[in-house]
Amino acid sequence: MARARRIELTAEEEQTLRMWTRAGTCEQRLARRARVVLALSEGLPIREVGESCGLSELSVFKWKRRFLDGRLDGLVDEHRQGRPTTISAERRLGVLNLATGTPPKGKTSWSVRDLAEASGLSSTTVHRILHEGRLKPHKVEYWCGRSPDPEFEAKQAAILGLYLDPPENALVLSVDEKSQIQALDRTQPELPLRSGEPKRLTATYKRHGTTCLLAALSVHEGEVTARCRDRNDHVTFLAFLKALYRKYPHRTLYVICDNLSVHKHREVKEWAARRRRLTILHTPTYASWLNQVEIFFNIFTREVLKGGVWTSKRELVEQIMYYIKRYNEEAAPFSWNYSGKPLTV
């Protein structure tokens, strides 16, 4: 049986919904829908939400589905034929121009409330204009810019070639560090996950020091070799390389790492140059995303670090190493499963 989708609000969405609940008489339909969504986000059951908002359970289901599918836009009535709009095209264009410009008072992004105050229109009208103009001032997306590395194509091809068709008896290791991992303790015990409520931690905390995780992902086996160290310098990195070299005495090693200065230190280069079985490849500038160990770090951050509580640095290190041990018991290489269109530059 499929699990019911839960409503989780961003800070901007919650602010806008609460503003709508205080709307005037002419906007009571939107205010009621906002109260429905806010109540559902708090984990209240459908029947209780319907009774408190004066709606049937079917209507509550409807607005829950509309919000999950279209977020705030899903709560606004779709345009229908009828009385012509009372907002002129020039005024609508003025709102769109405001939204695409720089907000005042040192702010970096517009909110619906700010745009309403600046334009002299109601928040609901501004939201409708933004929806029609397909503008979302509250939303920010990030993208990878073009690498300025003049050898980008050659470096990328070398790395992808090792991923797709490594030489015989070669071991491809994706290596990097995750530094400044803090052993954070909380000033009060955590409140565990309960029905309708997430796990809760106090905003105040105590620091018990930091550690640096060095990790090497075996690209074609999926196994992770890791060490936790107090420092992140060329000495620590070189010691880690030496440990990897000893661990695989009968394999030709191809180590992929980014352009961090410790990876290119003179002592590291000199030691690597004397090793017949070792080749170090650096990702192009601003292209560390080519390094597959970053995928592991993303999983590690989500499953271990997010929301973690440790009473000492030793406890943090022990949990990290235990997690990696269990991870390796089910380790498998990452597989490419993107099925969309190739990205164009």
Please say if the pLDDT value at position 264 is more than 80. yes
CA distance 287 to 151: 12
> Residue 76's pLDDT is what?
72
Q: How many CA atoms lie within 13 A of 44 on its CB side?
A: 20
Give the model's confidence band at 255: pLDDT under 50 very low, under 70 low, under 90 confident, else very high. Answer: very high
pLDDT band at 84 (very low <50, low <70, confident <90, very high): low
Per-residue pLDDT at 157 exceeds 90: yes
Which domains, ranges and CATH numbers included, belong to the chain?
11-78+89-132 (no CATH), 152-192+201-329 (3.30.420.10)
Report pLDDT digits (tens) over 98-136: 998 888 888 888 889 999 988 888 888 999 899 888 888
Q: Mean of the pLDDT values across residues 75-95?
A: 71
Q: What value does the mean pLDDT take over residues 220-230?
A: 95
Number of helices (H), then strands (E), in the chain: 12, 5
Burial of 21 (0-12, 13-18, 19+ CB in 10 A): middle
Hey, what are 275's tokens? 């090793």
Evaluate if residue 171 carries a pLDDT over 90.
Answer: yes
Average of per-residue pLDDT across 62-78: 76
pLDDT at 343: 57
Are 68 and 9 in contact, with CB atoms under 8 Å apart? no
pLDDT at 345: 46
226: left (phi over 0), alpha (psi -120 to 50) or beta: beta
**Rounded distance between C-alpha atoms, residue 322 and residue 150, angstroms:** 42
Cα within 13 Å of Cα(196), Cβ side: 8
pLDDT tens across 278-306, in order? 999 999 998 888 899 999 999 999 999 98
Q: Please determine, for residue 74, whether its predicted confidence score (pLDDT) is greater than 80.
A: no
Cα–Cα distance for residue pair 288/294, rounded to 1 Å: 8
Examine the pLDDT at 78 and tell me if it is beyond 70: no
pLDDT 10s digits, 11-59: 777 777 777 777 554 467 777 778 888 887 777 777 887 777 778 878 7
Three-class DSSP category at 230 = coil
Q: pLDDT > 90: what percent of the chain?
A: 40
Average pLDDT over residues 195-216: 85
For the chain, the residue count is 345
The confidence band for 179, taking pLDDT boundaries of 50, 70 and 90, is very high
User: Poorest-confidence range of 86-95, 113-122, 174-183, 254-263?
Assistant: 86-95
Mean pLDDT computed over every residue of the chain: 85
